[in-house]
Amino acid sequence: MTDNLAGVAAPAGVVVTPVTAARRGRRQPRRLLGFIIPVLVLVAWQLAWDWQLRPRTILPSPHEVLSAADAYFFGARSEAGLSGVVYFKGAGWDHLATSITRCGEAWAIAVVVGLLLGLGLGLSPWVADLLDPFSNALRAVPLFAWLPLASVWYGINPTSGRILIFIGALWPVVVATTDGVARVPAGQIEAARMLGTPRSRLWRRVYLPSALPEIVTGLRLSLTLAWTCVIIAELGGTTTGVGAMMTSAREAGATEQIIVGIFVFALVGYAADRILRLAARPFISWSVT
């Protein structure tokens, strides 16, 4: 059976489902749709500033925020060298690199631990019986509840922050991996065993590839959570990082700098998610997502 739907020619014998064809056809318009709301928000923001709906000290104009961002990333650095001072001008790239490194290190550890824990919980009833109640109880603890304990144990510093990022990033990976592995169809396991895969290799040959789409979803959620935890990690005890800059800007009443920080978090978070999706695409392209 040969179909030709939405202008997509299929080779003889290949069935192009209407769903697949429709997805292909709608791709470009969907991308354009994504720009509408940001543009509307920008226009509303500019109008709110023009009409002074809020005092200009707490609602800077888009242009002021753009200038602050320009100074943050491309301004001449002031190297006064004062201890405990968060520098703004020209410090953007350093702050960004610091925040990304903090987040990346803690996230990478969370991914490794989360995958191992998820595979254990999903593959071994013994491990599930042993760890499931404990891990589910820990998962229910709000992230902010760990902050006082981490501060007491490690002080208010980046180490406490990394621990929070790790905890925040861990559970989405654990839950996605456990569920993904548990949902592998029994027929795939039996097929692999019948075709000669020993039990010891099943996790690599069947469980992992079959569960990969769900695991990737968990990784994406985990990365977003890790990145949002950076602001908590940089609330105090450090003068570097985008979060530290925002905390300092709040104390100085520099709203435009706070908004620059929000844009940086949003853009980097979005870019990180896109990169992760692109990197994972070759491995999960078989699943309809």
By CB under 8 A, name the binding residues for other proteins.
1, 10-16, 187-188, 190-197, 201, 205-206, 209-210, 212, 283-284, 286-288
Kindly tell me which of 135 and 210 has the beta carbon lying closer to other proteins: 210
264 in Cβ contact with 214 (< 8 Å): no
Q: Residue 247: what residue type?
A: T
Nearest to 46 by CA among 66, 24, 22, 62: 62
Question: Cβ 72 to other proteins, closest distance in Å?
Answer: 44
Task: Name residue 9's beta-bridge partners.
Answer: 4
**Which H or E element spans position 103?**
helix 92-123
**What are the φ and ψ backbone dihedral angles of 8, each rounded to 5 degrees?**
-100, 115
Q: In 10 A of CB 286, how many CB atoms?
A: 11
Question: Cβ 162 to other proteins, closest distance in Å?
Answer: 34
Kindly tell me which of 181 and 244 has the beta carbon lying closer to other proteins: 181
131 in Cβ contact with 120 (< 8 Å): yes
Question: Cβ 28 to other proteins, closest distance in Å?
Answer: 22
Kindly tell me which of 9 and 85 has the beta carbon lying closer to other proteins: 9
Question: Cβ 116 to other proteins, closest distance in Å?
Answer: 22
Question: Cβ 120 to other proteins, closest distance in Å?
Answer: 22
Kindly tell me which of 24 and 89 has the beta carbon lying closer to other proteins: 24
CA dihedral sign of residues 167, 168, 171, 174: negative
Kindly tell me which of 22 and 141 has the beta carbon lying closer to other proteins: 22
